[in-house]
Amino acid sequence: MSARDTDEAHRVASPLELLFDLTFVVAVAQLVVQLAHGIEGGHGSEEIGPFLMVFFAIWWAWMNFTWFASAYDTDDVPYRLLTMLQMGGVLVLAAGVPAAFAEQDFRAITLGYLIMRIGLVAQWLRAGFEHPQSRVTAWRYAAGVSLVQLGWLARLALPEQIGLLSFILFAALDLAVPLWAERTGMTFWHPHHISERYGLFTIIVLGESVLAATYGVQDALSEGGVSGDLVLVSAAALVTLFAIWWLYFLEPAGEGLSVKRSRSFLWGYGHYGVFAALAALGAGLEVAVAEAGHRLEVSPVALGYAVALPVGVFLVLLWAVHAVLMSRSQIRPVVILPAAALVLLVPLLAGATGVTVVVVLVATVCVLVVAITLADQARRSRSAVEAGQPLGTQ
């Protein structure tokens, strides 16, 4: 196991990485379903804490695998078997999601997380033994991950009253491991490969929104049949997802990561909020579609915010993670920040106009952001051509 070349040409996600991602489809789907049920039951705000905690476990496990694979993917038999072990841990974690929401029982999730960490530590130990150049960094990773995992296991014995505080503590320690480990040398991850992998996870969480909206349509059809509201909300949900996809992929991050490798932590960690917002949007859209088919006993304003809040958070964080890497990003704050503020104000109309209008207005704002950004991109390209600059340098 030696480090991959950071300038390797045509580096793309491997079939094993794509298979690995499928287990996260299951985990995120379980999470979205539970959040949607909480919103439908009128206690969505109470589910935000468990949602963010479980999503952290899912996201952090995926991220650790992804960055390690970018640096050390040998695709040999030991590597594949240890990856399969981590996949098994993801499935155990996914099975424990309902209990975490219903009973605050995190035993299965902690067990799944432990299984994943065993596989990851074994990979780092192997990298340390077989790649002397990065031995200290690799063994720091193995030691740090192991120690924090012991803390997660000990957390199960702590009183439920300090559950949130203990989670924040151990999550912070988990986040600190890469910062500490790479003080002795940065790992050899590939910037364009990392950019592609994050794009693939974005598609995973967007796919959960499609699935959740489909569940909402099925529920609405079984209860009340086809209605104008159902058609409008379903169409607006699709438009919103498509606009969000368009915005995310307007400016791939590979080039920025290759130039500013030291900013990778800010960019990578910032995606926790991006991914969590997109997953939460799936739950919001499922509930909004269900509301269009048959009225729920939930405040229209709360239902509106179940869609608008994730979209607003996504827009702001999308600008933030791009700003970390690029001085002149296509995602401009003068467009994004007012749009996010407008999205967050729209649900206040829900009491008078209904949830359908709110979802349509949110979709309209997202479309306008895409249109304005594309128009600005075209204008800057024309200006560069007229000035005799190569495209992409403006």
- Tell me the pTM: 0.91
Mean predicted confidence (pLDDT) in 60-69: 94
Interatomic CA distance for residues 247 and 226, integer angstroms: 31
Interatomic CA distance for residues 206 and 247, integer angstroms: 13
CB 208 within 8 A of CB 25: yes
Percent of the chain exceeding pLDDT 90 equals 56
Confidence of residue 394 (pLDDT cuts 50, 70, 90): very low
Closest-CA residue to 278 (of 32, 18, 20): 32
Q: Is residue 304 scored above 70 in pLDDT? A: yes
Q: How many CB atoms lie within 10 A of CB 128?
A: 20
Closest-CA residue to 86 (of 103, 69, 107, 105): 69
Closest-CA residue to 286 (of 208, 366, 205, 357): 208
What is the chain's mean pLDDT, rounded? 89
Percent of the chain exceeding pLDDT 70 equals 96
Closest-CA residue to 121 (of 146, 149, 87): 146
Confidence of residue 87 (pLDDT cuts 50, 70, 90): very high
Q: Is 90 helix (H, G, I), strand (E, B) or coil?
A: helix
CB 392 within 8 A of CB 255: no
pLDDT of residue 45: 83
Domain boundaries, the chain: 15-184, 191-387
pLDDT of residue 353: 87
Locus of tokens 């045509």: 10
Q: Tell me the DSSP string of 28-82.
A: HHHHHHHHHHHHHTT-HHHHHHHHHHHHHHHHHHHHHHHHHHHHH---SHHHHHH
CA 120, 121, 124: angle at the middle one, nearest 5?
Answer: 90
Lowest-confidence region among 127-141, 222-236, 256-270:
222-236
Q: Give the number of C-alpha atoms closer than 13 A to the C-alpha of residue 330, restricted to the C-beta side.
A: 24
Q: Is residue 93 scored above 50 in pLDDT? A: yes
Q: Is residue 64 scored above 90 in pLDDT? A: yes
Q: 143 is written with which tokens?
A: 């030691």
Interatomic CA distance for residues 376 and 330, integer angstroms: 8
Interatomic CA distance for residues 97 and 31, integer angstroms: 6
pLDDT of residue 14: 93
The 10 Å CB-count burial string (b at 16+, else e) for 158-191 is eeeeebeebbeebbeebeebbeebbeeebbbbbb
Closest-CA residue to 331 (of 340, 320, 342): 320
CB 81 within 8 A of CB 126: no
Q: Is residue 392 scored above 60 in pLDDT? A: no
SS (H, E, C) 182-220: HHHCCCCCCHHHHHHHHHHHHHHHHHHHHHHHHHHHHHH
pLDDT of residue 225: 67
Q: Give the number of C-alpha atoms closer than 13 A to the C-alpha of residue 147, restricted to the C-beta side.
A: 12
Q: Is residue 259 scored above 70 in pLDDT? A: yes
Lowest-confidence region among 27-36, 37-46, 195-204, 315-324:
37-46
Confidence of residue 290 (pLDDT cuts 50, 70, 90): confident
pLDDT of residue 393: 43
Mean predicted confidence (pLDDT) in 58-66: 94
pLDDT of residue 195: 93
Q: 329 is written with which tokens?
A: 């990003």
Mean predicted confidence (pLDDT) in 15-43: 90
Give the residue with greater pLDDT, 379 vs 122.
122
Give the residue with greater pLDDT, 207 vs 272.
272
Write the pLDDT tens digit of every residue in 329-376: 778 888 999 999 999 999 999 888 888 999 999 999 999 999 999 998
pLDDT of residue 389: 61
Lowest-confidence region among 78-92, 283-297, 368-382:
283-297
Mean predicted confidence (pLDDT) in 211-227: 73
